[in-house]
Structure 1
Amino acid sequence: MLLCMSHRTGKPRSTPLHSVSVAGAVVREDGRVLAIRRADNGTWEPPGGVLELSESVEDGVRREVFEETGIKVGVERLTGVYKNVPRGVVALVFRCHPESGAEQLSEESTAVAWLTPAEVSDRMAEVYAVRVLDALREGGAAPAVRAHDGIRLLVRRRVMPVRRVPGA
């Protein structure tokens, strides 16, 4: 049994550690994005899953996309970090491009499709659509960092910047 200690108190933690998942926002030259309809709950999402302890994040993205869709991808860049607050899952989303393979179903997917950005917004729940839409932003943009409750994004309160008063 793994016992996790709090760095503040030195006592055992009362909550488990976070798990890390990876997902690929696979974008074709025509701007369509690869999506799956999950077998367990019927929702449309970008392909992805839990990162294994022994693999790099890039290898995890490549493995998950291939396992769920039959498409081999090249990983381009990190486009967002998303935290499911109630479940303690941190998802790393990477923009990818297709390299080879053909769409196929898996035990985890009942449909594989290339969606337009409008179809992403229509078919996916907000917490998944935003991941794909963030990945479609221009390449120079910093990765998005967002939190959600499993269904909807959690809106952070805006913190007003502190203005320095000259001579103070």
Structure 2
Amino acid sequence: MPNLSRHSVSVTAAVFHEDGGVLAIKRRDDGRWVPPGGVVELDESPEEAVVREVLEETGVMIKPEVLTGVYKNMVLGVVSLTFRCHVIGGAPRPSDEAVESVWLTLDEVRDRMPEARGIRVLDALRTDGPFVRIHDGTSLI
């Protein structure tokens, strides 16, 4: 079993505000607008990871509702689980990973986020999932 490829597992939060806004961060490292999320630690469940990552990146406390999709970056070998979430407290603020943390409209999600990230938000609004999609880090394949 030498030379086995390994995957990293991450989570993405599609967080919706009661007024319809979508929680998004502008990443400090590459300036891209994306939904919050990150790597699942070995000692936590995906749901625990999504709660932790959103709080760390945005200051917003959330509750995951349902898994809405699985997205694989074919270039990096990262598999991301996306959860539709709702807010239970806090307010968006910058962090070590985000120069901005704000509520975007759906039109702003479509305009600002790379396709591979925005589709996770749009899929989370649908009821015919969960979806399984592959991408190259920017665009769907």
TM-score normalised by the shorter chain: which range applies? over 0.9
1:55 aligned residue: 44
Cα distance between partner residues in 2 of 1:86 and 1:52: 21
Matched, 1:144 2:123: no
1:16 Cα deviation (Å)?
A: 3.2
1:135 aligned residue: 124
1:137 Cα deviation (Å)?
A: 1.3
Q: What's the secondary structure of 1:130's corresponding residue?
A: helix
Moved beyond 3 Å, runs of 4+: none
Task: Give the aligned length.
Answer: 141
2:111 alignment partner, one of 100, 114, 122: 122
1:98-138, Cα deviation, whole Å (9 max, x unpaired): 00012111100000111111110001011001011101113
Q: CA RMSD in A?
A: 0.9
Cα distance between partner residues in 2 of 1:86 and 1:41: 17
- Give percent identity, aligned residues only: 57
Structure richer in strand, relative to its length: 2
Query: What is the one-letter code of the residue matched to 1:145?
Result: V
Structure 2 stretches lacking a partner, 5+ long: none
1:31 Cα deviation (Å)?
A: 1.4
Q: TM-score, normalised by structure 2?
A: 0.97
Q: TM-score, normalised by structure 1?
A: 0.82
Cα distance between partner residues in 1 of 2:108 and 2:136: 23
Cα distance between partner residues in 1 of 2:93 and 2:115: 25
Query: What is the one-letter code of the residue matched to 1:66?
Result: L
Cα distance between partner residues in 2 of 1:41 and 1:23: 17
Cα distance between partner residues in 2 of 1:136 and 1:31: 11
Matched, 1:70 2:59: yes
How do 1:1-168 and structure 2 match up within 5 A? Answer: 5=1, 12-13=2-3, 15-138=4-127, 141-154=128-141
Cα distance between partner residues in 1 of 2:92 and 2:19: 17
Larger mean Cα displacement after TM superposition, 55-64 or 28-37: 28-37
Which structure has the higher relative contact order (CA within 8 Å, separation 6+)? 2
